[in-house]
Structures are given as structure tokens and as C-alpha cells.
Chain A
């Protein structure tokens, strides 16, 4: 599972299993795994722990 935190200054992508912070870099293999996981149906949470309903649509708009 992943958590996406968006605030006024920056966006943060967290892999919940190990609290890893993943950059939005298409060459980063953790980021590639995140996009693949969401495409495969993995859960994406917001900063408050709520499941993001349109995760796949959101990820489709990422680099």
C-alpha cells in the first residue's frame, strides 16, 4: 500500500510497508513499482489514511 500526501508546497509518496519516501522519477524502480501496483489494484491512501477512490486515474496523470 502507498500513501500520497499533497500540500501547498510539495507532494510526498510514501510506501507504507517500510515508510520509504519515493521520488516522482520515472527511472526510479520503486516509483515504477508503485505505478504498476496501483495499475494492478493496490490501495492508495491520502494523508489521513482514507483510500483514494480514483487512484488509477490519479496515477495516470503522473510522470
Chain B
């Protein structure tokens, strides 16, 4: 860019060339023959043209971006912090953010998630049948109203309480994505009768259903989804009902192939009338899956009925066939008109949710239960602290053999809750012993017995 000492015509020509180079940013198909630090050059040999700038050392060109002479658009390359695209769509593609390929467009489901929450959507506890504190996977001969897997119970009734009609067991037979199911096996060929009431059910606490607004004009629509499999095919059913037993919604679903997992979804518009328990520790609602429900206990499916119903009319009577099976898992009850993916909670969280209703402790030869003192030569008492606050003060039952270890060991029997000290958080448990010294301390434990367990139940 220096002009030599020369005659005026040559000087004028050199000056014009220099000025043209400046205003055109040295545009050309080849690099300027003489270069300077920070000098611009538009490389017209490429299409689109490329804007370059000389580096400070004047030994290389730095690419800044491209000049598209057809669209008259300047593009900043990705390497220079740009997108390399002339349009928003090109920019997303160049950056690996193409909608529908790399990222998803806004979905209406997001609105649903925003209104219902992403976690803890499922009002059913132990819907994946993971927790089985009482039976630890062993088969349970269902009696009327008894609990089997955690939070799950069954009806066994036909005019009066019956036994030996079916068993319930935690099973490892499960659909993809699940590890356990609740398995029902018919124990006898039970002829159907109008008063039959054989079901699997879960009662949900009022604190966990009050927001559904049932019994008000703002009742929310809910969806119940589950995986099911049976040796029988045809129309199966169930029901949703209130604690007063005077409002029920029966539903049906079809099992089309025997011994094959199928996922079902039932959407129910919330009940805008009727009496529903609000935010209390009473029963908010109950969901039933019918195994064999007689006409006296069934109603037409698909609408809210006034009455005490446990299922739909015209459904399969599973228990008429000895050995018939029914599996269920992945049970979810959520707000909304469509089923979302199963709300899998951590095992410890699910266990804690179950322990609000049932706490089983023991299982080792010398499981320690609680420490206390001898109130007399025949009575030992102490507090058992629960891992979570239970729904109510719990009922205590026990299995196996116990002892109190102190200055000696004393066989312990007749476990009993001691008066008003038993609350939702702790139980005072008294046991009978013989020959102890009043005032001594000790620990109540299993007496070399792995079956020694304390079962504290505050189920609904």
C-alpha cells in the first residue's frame, strides 16, 4: 500500500488502485499480493464469497463469515460463534437442534404435566407390586378384607365371609418395564352367585384424594391405567367408590388374549355430587378389580351410580374355574384424561409410603425390637418407634417367639399395646415374662426365631 516516489501519472494510478483496494476490501479471487496485518479480503473464488481478515502476525487469513451474493445475507460460521445458517431453520439444523429430529416441538402434554406435576402423579401406592412386607413373596390364602401385598387387599364374600376361594401372591411374572405383579389364583371352582363379592382393591387415604374435588362442581377427571393378564378372556370389570358406599362408578375392560400382558386405561369424569371424604386420614376412595362379583353388587358400567357397587354387570367370573389366574401391575390413578407413563418411585420412598399403613419388623434370629424395663417381675414394657408417622395408632399382631434379654433371658409372650401411649408415631408394648427383677432394663428381641415379627397395621 506504499506508493513509490514516481511521476504524477504513475502516482495517480497507484493511488487509485490503493483506494479501490480499500473500499472493496481487496475483493478478488486470489489473495492480495501484498498483505498487511488486519487487512480485509473478500475471497470471490468461493460461492458464497468469504470475508477474511489478516491476522496480527500477517502470516495467515482468518475466515470471518460468508457473503451470499444471491440472498444478500451475511452468515457467521459456527466456528466463529455463529450458526452458519441464513435462516432460523438452517441455523437449528447446523447446530444439531432440528425440531422433530434432535429436539421435540412443544407438546400439549406439557400443559398436562404442568397442571398435574411430573412426579408423584400416582395416587396408588405400591402400584408396581414391589413391596410385600407381610408375606415376602409367599402365597396368601385370601380372607375377606385382609391385606395381601402392601396397600392391596381383597374381598372374599358371598353372603358371608368365605375363605379358600383364591390366593394372592407377589409374582415375578411382569410386563416389560416391571419386575413384579400381584397374582390371583383361583383355589376352587366357585359357582357364581348374586351375592358374590370377590375383588382385589386399594383404598386411598383422603389426604391423597381431596384435591380431586369429588362431590363438588370442580371434580377432576381421572385416569386409571394398569397392566393385566389372565388365563381367561372376555370382559372384565371394576369400580371406583366412595367411603360411604353410596356412590360408585363401574368400568369394564377387555382381555382379548389369554396369558398375555395387556395395558388398559380407564378415564372417569369426577363425581360432582355425592359425599366424598376430604382432606382427612379416612378413606378418600377405593378402586376395585372384580374377580367375581354377583348381580347384587354390580351395576352398569360407564356412569356414576347411587348405591354400593363393586363392579360392572356381565363380566367374567374368574373363580368359577379352579386354577384360573389373574395378574395385575403398573397400576396408576392420576389426574387427567389420558394415562401417562408409570410413576416409578424409588424403592425406599415406596416402602416409606407403605409403612404409613403397615410396618413389619423382624426376620432375623435375634432381631431387636425395642428396649425398656421390667415394670414388675412379670411385665416388661418399652416404646417401639415407627419409621414414619402412621395413618392412625396401629393395631399390633405378632408371629414367632420372643424373649427379653437383661441380666438373664426371659421368654416373652402376650404382646399387647399398653394404653394411651400408643400413637401414630410410637407404640408402648407390654409383654409377659416370669421371674424378672423390677426396675432392670432390657431389650425385647426374637428368640432365635426368624419368624418372630411385629406387624403394626393402620390400614384403611
Chain A residues with a Cβ under 8 A of chain B: 5, 9-12, 14-15, 18-25, 27-31
Contacts of A10 in B (CB 8 A): 418-421, 428, 430
Interface pair A28/B419, CB less than 8 Å apart: no
11 A-B pairs besides A19-B397, A21-B416 with CB distance below 8 A are A5-B416, A9-B375, A12-B418, A12-B430, A14-B416, A18-B397, A21-B415, A23-B395, A23-B417, A24-B420, A27-B282
Q: Name A's interface SS.
A: mixed
**B275 within 8 Å of A by Cβ?**
no
Q: 3 closest A-B pairs (Cβ-Cβ)?
A: A10-B419, A27-B392, A25-B393
Interface pair B395/A20, CB less than 8 Å apart: yes
Could you count the A-B residue pairs with CB atoms below 8 Å apart for me: how many are there? 61
- How far, in whole Å, are A9 and B378 apart by their CA atoms in the complex? 14
**B281 within 8 Å of A by Cβ?**
yes
Interface pair B420/A12, CB less than 8 Å apart: no
- How far, in whole Å, are A62 and B417 apart by their CA atoms in the complex? 17
**B459 within 8 Å of A by Cβ?**
yes
> Which residue of B has the minimal Cβ distance to A15?
B395
Chain B residues with a Cβ under 8 A of chain A: 281-282, 375, 391-398, 415-422, 427-428, 430, 457-460
Q: 15 A-B residue contacts at CB 8 Å?
A: A5-B416, A10-B428, A10-B430, A12-B416, A18-B397, A20-B397, A21-B417, A23-B394, A23-B417, A25-B392, A27-B391, A27-B392, A28-B393, A28-B395, A29-B459
Knowing A9-B375, A10-B418, A12-B416 are in contact, say whether A21-B395 is a contact too (CB < 8 A). Answer: yes
> Which residue of B has the minimal Cβ distance to A10?
B419
Question: Closest Cβ of chain B: how far from A24's Cβ, in Å?
Answer: 7
- How far, in whole Å, are A11 and B418 apart by their CA atoms in the complex? 7
- How far, in whole Å, are A8 and B391 apart by their CA atoms in the complex? 29
Contacts of B418 in A (CB 8 A): 9-10, 12
- How far, in whole Å, are A21 and B396 apart by their CA atoms in the complex? 5
- How far, in whole Å, are A28 and B396 apart by their CA atoms in the complex? 11
Interface pair A23/B422, CB less than 8 Å apart: yes
Question: Closest Cβ of chain B: how far from A7's Cβ, in Å?
Answer: 10
Counting chain A CB atoms within 10 Å of each CB, the highest count among B281, B375, B417 belongs to B417
> Which residue of A has the minimal Cβ distance to B428?
A10
- How far, in whole Å, are A5 and B418 apart by their CA atoms in the complex? 10
Question: Closest Cβ of chain A: how far from B394's Cβ, in Å?
Answer: 7
Among A14, A20, A24, A28, the residue within 8 A (CB) of B458 is A28
Contacts of B459 in A (CB 8 A): 29
Contacts of A19 in B (CB 8 A): 397-398
Interface pair B419/A29, CB less than 8 Å apart: no
Interface pair B394/A28, CB less than 8 Å apart: yes
Counting chain B CB atoms within 10 Å of each CB, the highest count among A12, A20, A25 belongs to A25
Counting chain A CB atoms within 10 Å of each CB, the highest count among B394, B398, B415, B416 belongs to B416
Contacts of B415 in A (CB 8 A): 21
Among B375, B392, B420, B421, the residue within 8 A (CB) of A28 is B392
- How far, in whole Å, are A10 and B460 apart by their CA atoms in the complex? 26
Contacts of A21 in B (CB 8 A): 395-397, 415-417
> Which residue of B has the minimal Cβ distance to A28?
B392
- How far, in whole Å, are A19 and B431 apart by their CA atoms in the complex? 13
Question: Closest Cβ of chain A: how far from B390's Cβ, in Å?
Answer: 10
Question: Closest Cβ of chain B: how far from A6's Cβ, in Å?
Answer: 10
Question: Closest Cβ of chain A: how far from B36's Cβ, in Å?
Answer: 89
- How far, in whole Å, are A27 and B430 apart by their CA atoms in the complex? 22
Question: Closest Cβ of chain B: how far from A2's Cβ, in Å?
Answer: 12
- How far, in whole Å, are A24 and B395 apart by their CA atoms in the complex? 10
- How far, in whole Å, are A22 and B458 apart by their CA atoms in the complex? 10
- How far, in whole Å, are A30 and B358 apart by their CA atoms in the complex? 13
- How far, in whole Å, are A10 and B397 apart by their CA atoms in the complex? 18
- How far, in whole Å, are A63 and B10 apart by their CA atoms in the complex? 118
Question: Closest Cβ of chain B: how far from A1's Cβ, in Å?
Answer: 15
Interface pair A27/B393, CB less than 8 Å apart: yes
Question: Closest Cβ of chain A: how far from B320's Cβ, in Å?
Answer: 29
Contacts of A15 in B (CB 8 A): 395
Interface pair A23/B393, CB less than 8 Å apart: yes
Interface pair A11/B419, CB less than 8 Å apart: yes
Question: Closest Cβ of chain A: how far from B378's Cβ, in Å?
Answer: 12
